[in-house]
């Protein structure tokens, strides 16, 4: 029964985890003003949070305010957020707040897509030039990416009536400006000290949503604030390249350990770690060449244990492992990069631990699997001569064929040091007699 429950857990726990990763937040919002707070990078987690918040706005909602503080993030997630904002029947205001915050890179596009863009004193916006993880793309590809980004922000500026010239400079030249400059140059619409000040300034303002013009009123009557849940925060944390890298290797090694030495626990841990790693890798755009290099390294380590290779396979595994790690979060191709956000110290430590794992843990598991079972070894002892290592009265210990065994005397008391002969076995105990009696 326990075995069946363990096997069920092996499949159900990862399934529940996968459901938790993508389960939508269906909480309805019926407040006059809904506040959605994003403090961190733009990624699938923040995209999901904002899209659900915008789509769940109730019929009584007059305004959605996104309190934004971001250094930028994923292009795909940014475009998903922009699409949700543009399709929303409720006007969306992006408020760069609190003081010290920024709407950089992807945040600039999101601010330009809003029906109302606002900033608090002491904040900044801009530096929206597209960047790539790891090695830079070639000039032709980079020009295509930049022109695409310029076209997007200019189209948003045309739709919302904001400064097109500055928007293009923010993308091409990575310019950034303060909140006061943004207000004076028609980059944002409102300069507000805090949320109450923002809502007071927006009272009675006419905004355009799609083809409809709406007058904002009663904004301060009922306010509902939403921040990311602890689960969303956890998913954001694992999107760090170092954590994603460790989770990936834990998942791979745990599943390998489960294959060589089944315990169910290692399998469950490995499945969960791999699911989390796969989610993080979606955010980080993993280089498949780097991932394949790591898998090749794992295969070489296993072959080094099973096939005598004078260390050649092991050395090849180390080289493949390090190169794969350096390429894992870089650009697609065969060029290792030291600028992917992955710590070199972590690569070195994990490489050493990998050697220990394969050449100690897995090697021990392989030896255990190839070793004859204890009952077979006991059968091989029948008729052999041993020496009593303790007094058998009638139970004690003997040494036979270089190993120590529990034994029971069939010929009365046998003193330590006397020679005995193995007659039979019972369970995990040998039955012996004095040599002369046998």
CATH number at residue 427: 2.40.50.140
pTM of the shown model: 0.66
Q: What is the pLDDT of residue 135?
A: 45
Q: What is the pLDDT of residue 28?
A: 42
Q: What is the pLDDT of residue 383?
A: 83
Looking at 229, 263, 290, the residue that finishes a domain is 229
Q: What is the pLDDT of residue 134?
A: 45
User: Are 297 and 398 found together in one domain?
Assistant: no
Looking at 370, 389, 415, the residue that finishes a domain is 370
User: Are 213 and 142 found together in one domain?
Assistant: yes
Give how many domains the chain has, as a whole number: 3
From the list 77, 105, 114, 239, the catalytic residue is: 105
Residue 150 lies in a domain: yes
Residue 8 lies in a domain: no
What gap in Å lies between CA 256 and CA 307, rounded to an integer?
A: 18
Q: What is the pLDDT of residue 116?
A: 96
User: Are 269 and 251 found together in one domain?
Assistant: yes
Contact 104, 71 (CB under 8 A): yes
Identify whether 105 is a catalytic site residue.
Answer: yes
The 8 Å CB, 24+ separation contacts for 295-301 are: 295/252, 295/324, 296/320, 296/324, 297/321, 297/324, 297/354, 298/252, 298/256, 301/354, 301/355, 301/358, 301/359, 301/362
Residue 41 lies in a domain: yes
From the list 30, 144, 159, 229, the catalytic residue is: 144
Q: Which domain holds residue 319?
A: 238-370
Residue 42 lies in a domain: yes
User: Are 361 and 392 found together in one domain?
Assistant: no
Which CATH number does the domain housing residue 125 bear? 3.90.226.10
What gap in Å lies between CA 271 and CA 107, rounded to an integer?
A: 34
User: Are 342 and 379 found together in one domain?
Assistant: no
Residue 9 lies in a domain: no
User: Are 355 and 414 found together in one domain?
Assistant: no
Residue 4 lies in a domain: no
User: Are 24 and 151 found together in one domain?
Assistant: yes
Q: What is the pLDDT of residue 25?
A: 46
Identify whether 434 is a catalytic site residue.
Answer: no
User: Are 310 and 248 found together in one domain?
Assistant: yes
User: Are 366 and 379 found together in one domain?
Assistant: no
User: Are 323 and 210 found together in one domain?
Assistant: no
Looking at 229, 248, 272, the residue that finishes a domain is 229
Residue 54 lies in a domain: yes
Residue 211 lies in a domain: yes
User: Are 343 and 387 found together in one domain?
Assistant: no
Q: What is the pLDDT of residue 263?
A: 75
Per-residue pLDDT of the chain (438 residues; tens, 9 = 90+): 434 444 444 444 554 454 454 444 444 445 689 999 999 888 888 999 999 999 988 778 899 999 999 998 888 889 999 999 999 999 999 999 999 999 999 999 999 999 999 999 999 999 998 876 544 556 777 888 899 999 999 999 999 999 999 999 999 999 999 999 999 999 999 999 999 999 999 999 999 888 888 899 888 878 889 888 888 888 778 877 888 889 988 988 888 878 777 777 888 888 899 888 887 777 666 778 888 888 888 888 777 767 655 567 777 888 888 888 888 876 655 555 555 567 788 888 888 887 777 777 666 665 655 555 555 567 778 888 899 988 888 898 998 887 888 899 888 888 888 999 988 888 778 888 888 876
User: Are 85 and 139 found together in one domain?
Assistant: yes
Closest among 115, 49, 35, 47 to 283, alpha carbons compared: 47
């Amino acid at each position: 029964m326990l075995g069946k429950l363990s096997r069920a857990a092996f499949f159900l726990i990862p399934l529940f985890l996968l459901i938790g990763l993508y389960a939508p937040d269906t909480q309805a919002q019926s407040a006059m003003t809904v506040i959605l707070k994003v403090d961190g990078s733009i990624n699938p987690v923040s995209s999901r949070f904002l899209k659900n918040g915008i789509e769940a706005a109730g019929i009584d909602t007059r305004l959605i305010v996104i309190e934004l503080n971001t250094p930028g993030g994923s292009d795909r997630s940014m475009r998903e957020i922009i699409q949700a904002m543009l399709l929303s029947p409720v006007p969306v205001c992006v408020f760069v707040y609190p003081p010290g915050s920024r709407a950089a890179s992807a945040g600039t596009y999101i601010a330009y897509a809003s029906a109302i863009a606002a900033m608090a004193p002491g904040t900044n916006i801009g530096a929206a030039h597209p960047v790539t993880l790891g090695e830079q793309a070639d000039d032709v590809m980079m020009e295509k990416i930049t022109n695409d980004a310029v076209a997007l922000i200019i189209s948003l500026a045309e739709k919302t009536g904001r400064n097109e010239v500055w928007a293009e400079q923010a993308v091409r030249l990575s310019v950034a400006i303060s909140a006061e400059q943004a207000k004076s140059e028609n980059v944002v619409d409102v300069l507000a000290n805090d949320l109450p000040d923002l809502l007071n300034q927006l009272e009675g303002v006419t905004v355009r949503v799609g083809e409809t013009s709406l007058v904002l009123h009663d904004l301060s009557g009922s306010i509902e604030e939403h921040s990311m849940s602890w689960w969303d925060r956890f998913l954001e944390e694992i999107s760090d390249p170092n954590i994603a890298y460790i989770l990936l290797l834990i998942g791979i090694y745990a599943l390998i350990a489960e294959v060589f030495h089944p315990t169910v626990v290692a399998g469950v841990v490995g499945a969960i770690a791999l699911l989390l790693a796969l989610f993080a890798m979606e955010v980080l755009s993993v280089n498949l060449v780097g991932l394949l290099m790591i898998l090749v390294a794992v295969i070489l380590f296993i072959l080094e244990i099973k096939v005598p290779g004078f260390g050649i396979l092991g050395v090849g595994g180390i080289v493949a492992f390090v190169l794969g790690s350096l390429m894992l979060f870089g650009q697609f191709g065969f060029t290792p990069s030291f600028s992917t956000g992955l710590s070199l110290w972590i690569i070195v430590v994990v490489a050493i631990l990998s050697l220990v794992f394969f050449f100690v843990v897995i090697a021990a598991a392989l030896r255990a699997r190839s070793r004859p079972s204890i009952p077979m070894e006991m059968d091989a002892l029948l008729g052999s001569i041993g020496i009593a290592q303790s007094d058998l009265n009638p139970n004690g210990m003997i040494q036979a064929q270089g190993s120590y065994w529990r034994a029971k005397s069939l010929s009365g008391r046998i003193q330590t040091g006397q020679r005995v002969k193995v007659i039979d076995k019972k369970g995990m105990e040998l039955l012996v007699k004095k040599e002369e009696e046998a």
